[in-house]
Amino acid sequence: MTDIAVLVSGGGTNLQALIDAEKAGKIPHGKIRLVLASNPKAYALERAAAAGIESAVVSRKNYASQQEYDQAIVDVLKAHDIDMVILAGFLSILGETVIRAYPDRIINIHPSLIPSFCGKGFYGLKVHEAALEKGVKVTGATVHLVNEIPDGGRILLQKAVYIEDGDTPEVLQRRVMEQAEWILLPQAAEMVAAQLSEEE
């Protein structure tokens, strides 16, 4: 069984999709053991509590450097014997220390079809604003492995979502979540967890 940590910063809708998928037996090779938040006020922490999952808060502002922050995250993950990490709306960029500790074991969901609208500065609503501004007809979501380049790791899964007339960034964000993110993330979690279970 692959022990999973989910890293969050906000509402935790993707975390909820993972919790629901696990309950429904869709992640048979993985178990969410820890929810780690970068923000003590993240609603995702309440979702973790409701699901009976242990949680921790590691806030960037409590550390003098990126390296110290990364080390603190690794320490918490190691203390919980975590095998793989899922970034589900985690707004802090992870540094080399974390990435080296979990090579090819960190996955992230990005709300566009990479390589479009990705990289530094593209997160949350900004991604959907950029897609609408550009006038693309199709957007979607991508789950990828995390490396040192923001949104630059190997792509695991992608799903397209059509843009409709009159979409606002908020409406589009919701559709991408419902039609792509909440479906892809549990699938990718199982993909990687199954692979790691085989390696053990």
pLDDT in tens, 110-138: 999 999 999 888 988 999 999 999 999 99
How far, in Å, are 25, 115, 165 from residue 138 at the CA level?
31, 13, 12
Active-site entry in 80, 110, 128, 144: 110
Domains of the chain: 2-199 (3.40.50.170)
Q: For the residues 20-34, what does the mean pLDDT come to?
A: 98
Say if residue 149's pLDDT is above 90: no
More confident position, 109 or 149: 109
pLDDT of residue 70: 96
Q: Residue 174: which pLDDT band, with cuts at 50, 70 and 90?
A: very high
pLDDT of residue 187: 97
Describe the chain by its helix, strand, coil percentages, rounded to 5: 40, 20, 35
Average pLDDT, the chain: 95
Respond yes or no: is residue 144 known to be catalytic. Answer: no
Burial of 194 (0-12, 13-18, 19+ CB in 10 A): middle
Cα–Cα distance for residue pair 33/78, rounded to 1 Å: 12
pLDDT of residue 71: 97
Share of the chain above pLDDT 70, in %: 100
Cα–Cα distance for residue pair 31/135, rounded to 1 Å: 40
Burial of 137 (0-12, 13-18, 19+ CB in 10 A): exposed
pLDDT of residue 151: 87
Q: For the residues 2-17, what does the mean pLDDT come to?
A: 96
